[in-house]
A = this chain, B = another copy of it.
Amino acid sequence: MRAVKKLLPNENIIYLGDAARLPYGNKSADTVIRYTLESSQFLTSQNIKILIIACHTASSVALPALTTLHSLPVVGMVDPCLPALNSKNGKIAILGTHATVSSQIYQNALKRLSPNTSVSAIACPLFVPLVEEGFIDSPITQESIRHYLLPVKEREIDTVLLACTHYPLLQNVIQDFLGAGCRLIDPALNCAESVKTILHSSGLINNQTEEGRSVFYTTDDPEKFQRLGATFLGKCIPFVEQVKL
């Protein structure tokens, strides 16, 4: 959302956070698909012109079901990332949730696109609760990074995709651990650029000059959403409405 707002400041955005059922990343594909379809139906009922699945887990497992159900354009996190996944030494790591890693979506895509690249897909499930609890630069986070990412360092991987919405909040600590020679990719910008391209090519872009409005919905406590959402968005969220899915 932050990247989309920056790149497309005139667009109106409706954001839904399914906080009552999070995290998606350690649940089964069937459950994630069901939750994502329910969430998407809430959004499409608001007369939107494009649906963005700003969650790697949901994008990894639910995109086919979403594009079958809806006729409007649907943008996930995975496809927009793929062009950025090039490595000088042919070694790439994908960091994601259990569900994203198990889906094999990145591993399969890279096998097709650059068959000589070695891909390490690493589930880092503790990163989500660490971010949610605000442990950004704590010894606990540093121990967790060492645990999950020591193999990345040892294999001298030079390109690492942060394939979960929460992980870019740990970007600095991860970069410190892996060193400056390793390129970290935050896929938010790639996703926002895909959205811009689709809106342009389909004539759906908003050419108004006034700043777009944002509306926020959550399925759990609005106050908690405001607090945590501000960390991600980098600014205050004045009003959040609770909905039941």
- 26 CB contacts below 8 A, A to B, read A20-B21, A20-B28, A20-B31, A21-B21, A26-B132, A27-B220, A27-B221, A28-B220, A28-B221, A30-B221, A31-B219, A31-B220, A31-B221, A125-B129, A125-B132, A125-B133, A126-B126, A126-B133, A126-B135, A126-B140, A128-B129, A138-B147, A139-B147, A140-B143, A140-B144, A140-B147
For chain A, the bracket of interface size reads 20 to 34
Interface status of A52 (Cβ within 8 A of chain B):
no
Minimum distance in angstroms from A138 CB to a CB of chain B? 7
What residues on B are CB-neighbors of A220 within 8 Å?
Answer: 27-28, 31
Interface status of A49 (Cβ within 8 A of chain B):
no
Question: For the complex, what is the distance from the CA of A28 to the CA of B138, rounded to whole Å?
Answer: 26
**Looking at the complex, which one of B130, B143, B221, B224 makes contact with A139 (CB distance below 8 Å)?**
B143
Interface status of A19 (Cβ within 8 A of chain B):
yes
Instruction: Report the 9 A-B pairs with minimum CB-CB distance, sorted nearest first.
Output: A28-B221, A140-B143, A129-B129, A20-B31, A139-B143, A31-B220, A143-B143, A28-B220, A140-B144
What residues on B are CB-neighbors of A139 within 8 Å?
Answer: 143, 147
Question: For the complex, what is the distance from the CA of A130 to the CA of B139, rounded to whole Å?
Answer: 15
Question: For the complex, what is the distance from the CA of A168 to the CA of B135, rounded to whole Å?
Answer: 23
Which residue of chain B lies nearest to A244 when distances are taken between CB atoms in the complex? B34
What residues on B are CB-neighbors of A132 within 8 Å?
Answer: 26, 125
What residues on B are CB-neighbors of A28 within 8 Å?
Answer: 20, 220-221, 224
Question: For the complex, what is the distance from the CA of A221 to the CA of B27, rounded to whole Å?
Answer: 7
Which residue of chain B lies nearest to A144 when distances are taken between CB atoms in the complex? B140
Within 8 A of B (CB), among A81-130: 125-126, 128-130
- For A203-226 the 0/1 string (1 means CB < 8 A from B) is 000000000000000011100100
What residues on B are CB-neighbors of A133 within 8 Å?
Answer: 125-126
Question: For the complex, what is the distance from the CA of A130 to the CA of B140, rounded to whole Å?
Answer: 11
